[in-house]
Amino acid sequence: MNIARLPTQNQPIVYIILLNWNGWQNTVACLDSLKRLEYANYHVLMVDNGSSDDSVVHIRASHPGVTILETGRNLGYSGGCNVGIRRALEEDADYVWLLNNDTIVDPNALSAMVRTAEADTRVGAVGSVLYYLDNPERIQAWGGGRVFFWTGRSRHILNPVHGAGPHYLTGTSILLRRHALDDTGLLDEKTFFMYWEDVDFSFRLRKAGWRLAVADKSIVLHREHAATGKHNSLLDYYYSESAVLFFRRYAPIPAWPISIGVLGRLVKRGLRGNLPSFIATLRGSFAGLRKG
């Protein structure tokens, strides 16, 4: 299908950051979908986060024009994304689009986000409406979600919101304004190896006076947990560690949401009968309490 692309004249320059870790098949599919974007003034930076499955070889073969940055080891989600963000800022990026490699984007996804950002200079970040790739009629997140300090949890928003809007935008698809990055800094890779880094970044943006917005015409299909697996112990460890670290940083009384959140996750995994996940959750929670 031929897409009538918008003219590049006066279009802001967008750098798209894809992070790959042993998932070249998903990355290739995502890159294929990016070729159909209506928006024309973009560059793709694919960051390979220390893959061991010959990802770089496969991606170069299928998309030889894509710039590939190799970290040499797994820097985590925050660290890997920051490699791409730094390169984009060294170049002439007006915006940086952090996009999960396990996504398929609608041709209008990027142009809708840029229009939303350009309409209000106070907007520091714009999110997409996410749908499940295996169930495209079902919404995964309307751009982001909210944090509940009394339960120690966060929850994705599933419908359009008015007024206060989301507390955070999910890092699955988030367009970042260059000036907002200059103002607030990059993802906190020293604290968050993976998970909750997007929530932390959103909170820092809002604290600095930037607004969060959702482009309702920016549609992205997401293959949930493609990189780690739905009930992977690694996911449980890092999610629990990062959750504890987040509430230590932001909760008025950290002990309450940390205790309730950890207890809830342990009960859920205990009822599931998944001992490795239970242990990983416990270990990750203690790691979050010890760190820093």
Cα angle 268, 273, 279; round to 5: 75
**Mean pLDDT (whole number) for 177-203:** 97
Q: What is the DSSP letter of 129?
A: E
Q: What is the pLDDT of residue 273?
A: 86
Cα radius of gyration (the chain): 19
**Surface-to-core class of residue 280, CB atoms within 10 Å of its CB (0-12 exposed, 13-18 middle, 19+ buried):** buried
Helix (H, G, I), strand (E, B) or coil at 201: helix
Structure token digits, residue 53? 């499955």
Instruction: Report the distance separating Cα 143 and Cα 292, nearest Å.
Output: 30
Q: What torsion, rounded to 10 degrees, do the Cα atoms 8, 9, 14, 20 define?
A: 20
**Mean pLDDT (whole number) for 46-55:** 97
Query: pLDDT by residue (tens digit) across 63-104?
Result: 999 999 999 999 999 999 999 999 999 999 999 999 999 999
What's the topology of domain 14-222? Answer: Spore Coat Polysaccharide Biosynthesis Protein SpsA; Chain A (3.90.550)
Q: What is the DSSP letter of 195?
A: S
Distance, C-alpha 13 to centroid of its chain: 20
**Mean pLDDT (whole number) for 151-159:** 93
Mean pLDDT of the chain: 93
pTM of the entire structure? 0.92
Q: What is the DSSP letter of 15?
A: E
Instruction: Report the distance separating Cα 224 and Cα 207, nearest Å.
Output: 29
Assign 3-state DSSP to the chain and report helix, strand, coil percentages, each to 5: 40, 25, 35
Confidence of residue 3 (pLDDT cuts 50, 70, 90): very low
Strand partners, 132: 135, 222
Amino acid letter for position 113: M
Query: pLDDT by residue (tens digit) across 114-137?
Result: 999 999 999 999 999 999 999 999
Instruction: Report the distance separating Cα 47 and Cα 282, nearest Å.
Output: 31
